[in-house]
Structure 1
């Protein structure tokens, strides 16, 4: 077998979802590590008055592509934007573009999807299932197609505890569901959704499961592979550590914790936090396309599924995530923090609800009251409400653990040459979690919030100021409690003196023991 860059040399690639988080990283890595690739077609729709070409031009000028700009200044000439909309008939492709794609494409990466967990079922079906069906129909017309890669999610079958690298039968026939949704109004669909998704937590995981089965049923003679990443996070190494460009998933939660807004969250400290760096997923995706594509003629065309996860190989728990976030943001604080970072995970829903009221809602109301008194627009309750909605969406995933079979991922790694293993590294056994989490948190600071590291001294000074305010407030609170309750009651004073004397005796005993040693 040829190595991975050699396989892609001279190939024409098609990517959907290239403007999304994973799509960008896929495009950058493909062009940088496989410089011999002939061209990359990206299907993009017009948005906010910008043409597909303008959107791509803006995208490749971002921080992510800086390394590629230095190494290959003319890489942009290989990217060809195709005007398309995955929700419209025939993907809104012109006849000319359909013909060009049919004649030239060798490899398809279907990354486009809605990742909003609470998307209405009709919309989720349009983007995650029907768009996949249209992409497969287009792929069947491609005369030189070697491999079709479908990006799914490791949580597509989260109603199971053990998830193997196979396509599972869906809860309903996707064809019948598509037909039913055509005549149902939105209100009826909303009522039916909980009954349809059953034990799955949201429409995202439900429609992703349907899409996988659709791929299996409608692939026909196409060579197909499915990649299932778990919770995709910031980059591990490439093109540089900690790159992230959005608030989605855990990133927004990390930022809220760093700002001191998030103080409590429902999660199990012992549950596995199955985070997987985005560059690990992309390296595995490119390697999977290489393996299936180069083996197309000699291997039976069964669909290979890859569970791209970390929990079974290099487990990391939510309690450890909590510790890393608190430590990183106390050492390298975010600018203009609301409070000192001190998030706590609680598995008991009643305890969590109490602390949510005490540490989220009440401070937000007080702060908004202060803003209103000073003539400014209140905003903290709005932020807290959005934060609570995001946490409710993630609660299911922070409170459960799964066992994923990763035999195909191990097999794929074993097929690669030593050089390819270095360039396209997805061996998560090498991942050092504490270092990764620090880079992840710093990535949210640098690339999402656009905060310069030169501002760290001022941010640390602000954090110290918040600490002093907290100590002062606590001192005043203790004095008030003393004056109002303890000083007026003989029984309360006796209890107080008893507690103080016990503490004094304990300290005296401890000091005496230390002296004797």
Structure 2
């Protein structure tokens, strides 16, 4: 485990030590007075990976917003057939969060076509030389975030891809900062308080990268072999993110580099606008989008477990602050911070469900297929509820999809539900255990920020009101994903009341349906008792 020193400010037994501390504090204060995040990014050229993803999109917007004189933002874009890179960036910059920028500012976002895991990203010599000459800051956020990704794919993307960014960083003529967006879950194989250090992996990242390039190693590679390698990691994602951190610790010592570890990323709190959720299918946001329409109605996990959620803009703010910090302070070894909420503003799963249900009641969408409501269930109760009230309705909806060619463009409702179920079961690991994340390094760096930066680039989750936050995210899903009105009107409230009545009438219809069948099969007396028992069980379920 790599130990990262922390700056102390406590008392000392000697006068010389006190004087040294006083001078050190004074130097920090002097630097604070003249150094701000916007000033750091002025005239800097940035290289961004993962720029077309949810986090990456907000990162690009926030970079443009830091300083009017920010330099070029080079965005790594994969070369896909039928997709022009310039067109992809053009579509990216047409999103609502970029509307406040003029053409001159947007022209600073430049795509560079390449593959993350290839040597030099597969760049031409001229593009590579341009980057080496001009780039000052690297933000590496690209990754395969699927928990179920094959191990070889995860290694090539998450580990080898990180190595390519390290290689570029070391070639740059003027490297000011390198920031890696990791995940708080990369150490989820540990228990107790997880501190802001790099936890040593049992496997060497260099050996794993070599293994990924050897076709023979992957012949007859079974799930059992994968489990033998990742061991107590819950999936290939957390395993490879931990390997990437080990790689950075080995390669970036003495360089201005930092790791930011966010937890579960939801929509934005305030910047660039309240409740921005992108395409709402990243991570747990996909659950929120389904919940709003009454499609996803249950969660698995312990009621008292902490669900560690963080607003997207807090993650980006912390990343920008870390760029400023390592770029303006002498960094001896890799800096690591958590961007989490559990230790300073805990939210339990029980509270999460209550807030979600209250928020959608206050701000219902234009339409929904079922009354939006979520509840914690576990074990057989969760599985049975999911089968009866998620899978069976999805199968019923699939029939007209198949017969008449309506519905979702690439998959049936059942296929979407099956994929969702697989994803949520993988996520259950993180909702069934209490992960605690130290916040000391983050707090130490917050204390060094200029007062104006503390306000604008806030990532102190203790200041976040979860009820208000989920209202913003819910309205964001309505507005940006489902293209509905942002304002909640009296019509929305009337629609909710009417549907609420229909919802409870549905219980009556359900009872009459069950009673009709039972009475037909067993007679009125036995049928009534049996139907009441079945109906009561289903209502409880």
Fold conserved between structures, TM > 0.5: yes
Does the C-alpha gap of structure 1 residues 273 and 492 become closer, same or farther in structure 2, counting only changes over 3 Å? Answer: closer
Q: Residue in 1 aligned with 2:149?
A: 119
Distance 1:16 1:364, change over 3 A: closer
**Counterpart in 2 of 1:11?**
44
Q: What pairs up with 1:145-224 in 2 under 5 angstroms?
A: 145-161=175-191, 162-181=193-212, 182=214, 183-185=216-218, 187-188=220-221, 190-224=223-257
2:358 corresponds to 1:360: no
CA contact (8 A) 2:255 2:333 kept: no
The worse-fitting range, judged by mean Cα deviation, of 221-230 and 153-162 is: 221-230
SS at match of 1:434: helix
Query: How far apart are residue 230 of structure 1 and its match?
Result: 0.8
Kept in 2: contact 1:335–1:455 (CA 8 A): no
Of 351, 354, 376 in structure 2, the residue corresponding to residue 323 of structure 1 is 354
Tell me, in whole angstroms, the C-alpha distance in 2 between the residues paired with 1:445 and 1:462: 15
1:312 to 324, 327, 343: 343
* Residues 492 and 339 of structure 1, relative CA distance in 2, 3 Å threshold: closer
Partner of 2:137: 107
Q: Label 1:373 to 1:467 Cα distance change in 2 as closer, same or farther (>3 A).
A: farther
1:330/1:340 contact within 8 Å kept? no
CA contact (8 A) 1:122 1:189 kept: no
Structure 1 residues 58, 271: closer, same or farther in 2, change over 3 A?
Answer: same
Q: Does 1:35 align with 2:68?
A: yes
Determine the structure 2 residue equivalent to 1:411: 444
Q: How does 1:10-409 map to 2 (within 5 A)?
A: 10-67=43-100, 69=101, 72-161=102-191, 162-181=193-212, 182=214, 183-185=216-218, 187-188=220-221, 190-246=223-279, 247-295=281-329, 299-346=330-377, 348-368=378-398, 379-409=412-442
Instruction: Give the secondary structure class of the aligned counterpart of 1:188.
Output: coil
- Say yes or no: does 1:489 pair with 2:520: no
Q: Deviations over 1:242-262 (max 9, x none)?
A: 001131211111122222222
* Alignment partner, residue 470 of structure 2: 437
Quote the Cα distance in structure 1 between the aligned partners of 2:141 and 2:105.
21
Asked if 2 retains the 8 angstrom alpha-carbon contact of 1:269 and 1:317, the reply is yes
Alpha-carbon distance, 1:420 to partner: 1.1
Report deviation, 1:419.
Answer: 0.9
Aligned residues of 1:232 and 1:275 also touching (Cα < 8 A): yes
Post-superposition CA distance 1:414-473 (Å, at most 9, x none): 001111111211121211110001111111111122223479666656555544444334
Does structure 2 conserve the Cα–Cα contact (< 8 Å) formed by 1:15 and 1:43?
A: yes
Confirm or deny: 8 A CA contact 1:33 1:423 kept in the other structure: no
C-alpha deviation, 1:375, in angstroms: 9.2
Q: Deviations over 1:148-202 (max 9, x none)?
A: 1111111101011221111111121122222233132354154421111122111
Aligned residues: 487
Please give the alpha-carbon distance, in whole angstroms, between the structure 1 residues aligned to 2:263 and 2:524.
59
SS in 2 for 1:226: strand
2:474 and 2:487 mapped to 1: Cα distance? 16
Deviates more, 1:43-52 or 1:241-250: 43-52
1:235–1:241 Cα contact (<8 Å) kept: yes
Structure 1 residue 273: deviation in Å? 1.2
Structure 1 residue 73 displacement after superposition = 4.7
**Structure 2: how far apart are the matches of 1:359 and 1:21?**
30
Distance 1:309 1:153 in 2: 10
Which is further off, 238-247 or 442-451? 442-451
CA shift digits 1:113-170 (9 cap, x unpaired): 1111111111111111001111111111111112211111111010112211111111
Following TM superposition, by how much is the alpha carbon of 1:401 offset from its aligned partner in structure 2, in angstroms?
1.7
More off after superposition, 372-381 vs 317-326: 372-381
Is the contact made by 2:294 and 2:373 (CA closer than 8 Å) also made in structure 1?
A: yes
Q: CA RMSD in A?
A: 2.6
Against the structure 1 CA distance between its residues 482 and 292, is the aligned structure 2 distance closer, same or farther, given a 3 Å change threshold? closer
Contact 1:5 1:36 in 2 (8 A): no
CA contact (8 A) 1:314 1:429 kept: yes
- Equivalent-residue separation in structure 1 for 2:526 and 2:160 (angstroms): 75
Structure 2: distance between partners of 1:215 and 1:377: 45
Kept in 1: contact 2:253–2:333 (CA 8 A): no
Q: Distance in 2 between matches of 1:410 and 1:447?
A: 33
